[in-house]
Structures are given as C-alpha cells and as structure tokens.
C-alpha cells in the first residue's frame, strides 16, 4: 500500500490494547468510588471521536453521558457538571490549549480527570489526576483513542450490569490488528481512484449517521478542510433532507459513510435520493470489512473501521493534490 508503514500501524493498535488491564482496574475503582455522570470533553477531532461513544452508551445504558466542546463547556455553567463528575479527555499532542484549560477547570471544581495522551510529559499528562500514554500520529490517532475509549465505556457498562458480554467482545478485539490492515488493503484501489478523480474537486458533502456520524464530522473538518483546505460540509443523514438537499447537483461529490447500527435506513434514504441527482456518489461501508468479532458487536467497531478505511483516501489525496497532510497556514502557526 502506498505510503503505509504496516509495522508502525500494528504497533499503535497493540500498544493501545496493551494498557487495557491497568485501565480496567482504574475504571473498576472509579466505578466503586461512585460518580454522578460522565463528561467526554474534547475539541476538533477528539470531540468528534467522542460522539460515537455517547451514541453507543445511549443505546445500551441509562448512565448520563455528556459530550461537550471544551471551550464552550468552560463558559457554559453546565448544571449537570459537578465535583462528582468523571471527566475524560483525549489529546494527541498533550498541549492543546482548550483541553489544558478544560482539565484545569475540572480540577478546580474537584471533579475526577482522566486523560489519554499520545505524548508523555506534556501538560495534559501533568494536570490530569489519571492519565495513560499510548503513542500515535494523526494518521492512526482514532484507532488508538477508540480502543481505549471502548474499554472505558463498555467496562463502566459491565459494572452497571448493562453489558454482560464485555469479556467476550474484548477477547475478540484483541486480534483486530490484521483485520484493520486488510480493511486498508481493501480500500486501497477505490481510494486511489477516488483521489485521482477528485484531486481538483473543490467541494464535498460527507454524510453519516449513528455511530459513524462523528467520523463524518471529523473527516470533513479535520481532514478535508484542515489538512487539504477543501470546502466540505458534514451532514447527518437524518438532517440531509432539511436544507442541504437543495445544494445537491449533478456534479456534487457526496461521500456516504455507512456503519452497521440501527440508523442504516437513514443512510439508505439519502443514497436512494442522491444517486438520482449526482454522478459523484461514493460509499465507504464497514459491512464490507471482515472483523474478528461476533455480528452483534460489529456496530460498535464501525467508527474505528471507517476511520481506518478513509485514511487510505487521505493518503492518496495528499499525493494527487501535492498537498502534504501536515501542511497548515494558520493552525498552530500563528497566535489566535
């Protein structure tokens, strides 16, 4: 595969899985100590990656879970937040301004802070009451964060008696690395072709729903907009027909991200319409990917798998557009 280091990718997966035993112990202790609610506090990509976790929790549990945007959260005076909240953060760099400020805010309120970071000895590590380090770069960051966040949310639900098959699912997840490599291989040719075809396309729609809605939001904003400077709109499939439908034209690029949860009919409804209008409809569907887990568990892995598949498109788009994914004009380049 083009510009893909399989050993590095597999190491990211295995490293994230390797912290599970210690993380389970901590989650069990935090559950035993008691907390009123769970706050998943992010910004940009980390906010997007928390959305599927909330969706999954709401389909399985009555546990109060809040996904909030870090900067807004500090200003909001959220009445659900208190010293009895468990606050979880993810950060690749470990020094994202909004995350650092949010952790400080939570600490001052007496809440419990737990962070997952890709770089040690950073402010996020130093400020959080608990933290775990598992290295990853931008191209594999979501696989790393999803694997640790699955442990957090499903372990809590196990303790609550709301996910009794925890051990079975995670025994199966342990062998996921080669299947994710195969998912990338399977996505290689369509991604290469798609990148060549769309190297000069100046506008995309990215549509998702359910557990992969967060990935639609993330891919539009953090990859196509931030990393490629392409105007993009992320659209929830349930909202497409309430405005964005009027922007659909014959040459509109529409990228449909299919997961495997109960919201697939929402995606089908969008697909059935847009293929009548646009000649530029592309589908990434996790159902086409072989996974080492039981059928009933696949829906929970869909955001991770979608991210894995889309990385191949990003990689080829970078090449075709001669625009490195690491190039920025403003982000972390100037003060703002």
**Residue 259 sits in a domain of what CATH number?**
3.40.50.10490
d(CA 296, CA 115): 29
Residues 301 and 218 in one domain: yes
Angle between helices 141-159 and 20-33 in degrees, nearest 10: 40
Query: Residue 332 pLDDT more than 90?
Result: no
Number of domains in the chain: 2
Mean pLDDT of 261-290: 98
* Contact indicator for 132, 120 with CB cutoff of 8 Å: no
Residues 125 and 194 in one domain: no
- Contact partners, residue 324, CB within 8 Å, separation at least 6: 318
Residues 198 and 160 in one domain: no
Give the model's pLDDT for residue 93.
95
* Contact indicator for 177, 6 with CB cutoff of 8 Å: no
Residue 334: inside a domain: no
**At which of 128, 143, 173 does a domain end?**
173
Mean pLDDT of 27-53: 98
Residues 78 and 227 in one domain: no
Mean pLDDT of 185-201: 98
Give the model's pLDDT for residue 254.
98
Residues 163 and 181 in one domain: no
Q: What is the dihedral of CA 242, 248, 254, 260, to 10 degrees?
A: 30
Residue 328: inside a domain: no
Residue range(s) defining the domain that contains residue 20: 6-173
Mean pLDDT of 201-211: 98
Mean pLDDT of 134-157: 96
Instruction: Please write the tens of the pLDDT for every residue from 89-135.
Output: 999 999 999 999 999 999 999 999 999 999 999 999 999 999 999 99
Q: Give percent of the chain with pLDDT exceeding 70.
A: 100
Which of 303, 21, 59, 286 lies closest to 167, judged by CA?
Answer: 21
d(CA 297, CA 173): 10
Beta strand residue intervals within 124-252, DSSP E: 130-133, 203-208, 231-236
Mean pLDDT of 184-190: 97
Residues 97 and 164 in one domain: yes
Give the model's pLDDT for residue 331.
80
Query: Residue 334 pLDDT more than 90?
Result: no
Q: pTM of this prediction?
A: 0.96
Per 3-state DSSP, the chain is made up of helix, strand and coil in percentages (nearest 5) of 55, 15, 30
Give the model's pLDDT for residue 208.
98
Mean pLDDT of 233-261: 98
Residues 200 and 166 in one domain: no
Question: pLDDT grade, residue 336 (50/70/90)?
Answer: confident
* Contact indicator for 259, 284 with CB cutoff of 8 Å: no
Angle between helices 45-60 and 141-159 in degrees, nearest 10: 30
* Contact indicator for 98, 73 with CB cutoff of 8 Å: no
Instruction: Please enumerate, as own/partner, the contacts of 245-248 that have beta carbons within 8 Å and a separation of 24 or more.
Output: 245/273, 247/205, 248/205, 248/273, 248/274, 248/277, 248/278
Mean pLDDT of 192-209: 98
Residues 168 and 181 in one domain: no
* Contact indicator for 137, 37 with CB cutoff of 8 Å: no
Query: Residue 155 pLDDT more than 90?
Result: yes
Query: Residue 333 pLDDT more than 90?
Result: no
Residues 58 and 100 in one domain: yes
């Amino acid at each position: 595969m083009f510009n893909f280091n399989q050993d590095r990718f597999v190491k990211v997966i295995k490293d994230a899985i390797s912290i599970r035993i210690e993380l389970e112990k901590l989650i069990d202790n935090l559950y035993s100590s008691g907390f009123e609610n769970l706050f998943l506090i992010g910004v940009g990509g980390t906010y997007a990656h928390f959305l599927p976790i909330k969706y999954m929790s709401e389909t399985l549990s009555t546990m109060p879970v809040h996904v909030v945007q870090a900067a807004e959260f500090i200003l909001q005076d959220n009445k659900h937040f208190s010293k009895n909240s468990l606050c979880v953060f993810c950060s690749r760099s470990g020094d994202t301004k909004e995350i650092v400020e949010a952790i400080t805010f939570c600490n001052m309120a007496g809440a419990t802070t737990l962070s997952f970071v890709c770089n040690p000895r950073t402010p996020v590590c130093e400020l959080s009451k608990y933290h775990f380090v598992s290295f990853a770069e931008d191209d594999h960051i979501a696989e790393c964060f999803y694997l640790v966040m699955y442990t957090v949310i499903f372990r809590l639900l196990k303790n609550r008696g709301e996910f009794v098959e925890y051990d079975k699912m995670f025994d199966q997840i342990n062998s996921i690395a080669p299947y994710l490599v195969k998912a990338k291989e399977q996505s290689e040719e369509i991604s290469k072709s798609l990148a060549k075809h769309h190297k000069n396309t100046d506008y995309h729609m990215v549509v998702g729903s359910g557990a992969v809605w967060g990935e639609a939001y993330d891919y539009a904003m953090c990859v196509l907009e931030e990393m490629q400077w392409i105007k993009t709109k992320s659209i929830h499939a349930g909202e497409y027909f309430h405005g964005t439908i009027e922007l659909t034209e014959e040459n509109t690029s529409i990228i449909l991200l299919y997961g495997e949860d109960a919201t697939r009919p929402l995606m089908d409804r969008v697909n059935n319409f847009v293929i009548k209008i646009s000649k530029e409809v592309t589908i990434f569907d996790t159902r086409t990917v072989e996974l080492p887990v039981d059928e009933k568990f696949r829906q929970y892995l869909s955001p991770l798998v979608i991210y894995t598949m889309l990385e191949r498109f990003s990689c080829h788009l970078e090449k075709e557009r001669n625009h490195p994914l690491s190039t920025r004009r403003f982000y972390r380049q100037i003060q703002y």
